[in-house]
Amino acid sequence: MNILITGGAGFIGQNLTYSLLKRGFKIRILDNFSPQIHVIRDLPDDLVDQVELIRADVRDRAALIQALADIDGIVHLAAETGTAQSMYQIAHYNDVNSQATAQLMDVLANAPHSIKKIVLASSRSIYGEGAYDCKVHGIVYPGARSAVQLKSHQWDPVCPHCGDVITAIPTPEVARPSPASIYAATKYAQEDLIRIAGDSLGIGTTILRFQNVYGAGQSLNNPYTGILSIFSTRIRRGMSLPIFEDGQESRDFVHVSDVVCAIELALLNDAANGGTFNVGAGEPTSVLQIANMLVDALGGKVRPGVTAQYRLGDIRHCYADLSEIRTKLKFEPQISLIKGIEAFASWVLSQPLPEDGLDKANEELKKRKMMS
């Protein structure tokens, strides 16, 4: 197969490219090397001669038409990804994520092509809060926490029916989407665009909802996304490590090699056509716990501190129910969190020490009254 990877020069894209090349695929990458993500605005030397690179923005229709020539399958990774940043760059996120995806499908609808499969990188953020169990009402899906709740330090959602205490459980794909940020809304829009247009065009489509992806090669310079990257820079600089809320908010951290495996299964398996699948480790880890793991792995001297600050649009808990992808695609995550964090820390220590941009990013949010 000839594969086009939009955003292929990024973290997940490069890892996927190396893996697909080993399988004998021919790879074309469309990427604009956004400076917020890329310090070195080029491909690694060992990829330059192995892939075709189109250096262009995914919103560029002419570039899309060029990139789609003689392609069999698309992995659509290109997107803006900062949840907090999306709350005040609304039109930009809609343009890059939603509108560019609409244009991709518009090109396929109006020009000859050879595309048989599209795999979309979506996000667990489309769920908003994940699934919870109420002792009275069973499985429930609470809405986004309000500014009033957060200001009162009411961190945990309650049952939307009776207001009682609820417990987080694995979130299945059938959960009702409830985006709590502009970023999440644009990812959900991408899903509908790909699914509806792909079905009408007779193209096999698969939607993968990634949890928090981490691993060697991720951007260490983007202060708006990737808490492991943000934390690692501050640990190396001996700076304070501020943890929002009470530190018990949890995420599902999945290693990039497991994400690459899921993408390949989606590309190569007809059983994935028309499907939507969670991709994660299937286990929750508190932000305070992951921060302490990083301090230990990096040999840091300053322990994380809980600040009780908060950001609008953040969720409390969400971790993946992997039943669907295990059953249909035989996916099973291979990299434990302990092993993955050790490997990530080893790679981080081999990289140049980035500037810390967290304080500046947080000040921007405070100025806009999106953070306490």
Catalytic positions, please? 183
212-214 and 253-255 beta bridge pairing: parallel
Phi/psi region, residue 303 (left: phi>0; alpha: psi -120 to 50; beta: rest), is beta
Q: What is the number of alpha carbons within 13 Å of residue 153 lying toward its C-beta?
A: 9
Residue with tokens 């990188």: 121
The three-point CA angle 293-295-297 to 5° equals: 65
Residue with tokens 């249909």: 328
275-279 and 204-210 beta bridge pairing: parallel
What SS3 string covers 314-344?
CCCCCCECCHHHHHHHCCCCCCCHHHHHHHH
How buried is residue 169: exposed, middle or buried, by Cβ count under 10 Å (0-12/13-18/19+)?
A: middle
Helix intervals (H) in 45-204: 45-48, 61-68, 83-86, 90-93, 100-110, 147-151, 182-201
Nearest to 60 by CA among 99, 14, 89, 94: 99
DSSP SS3 for 291: helix
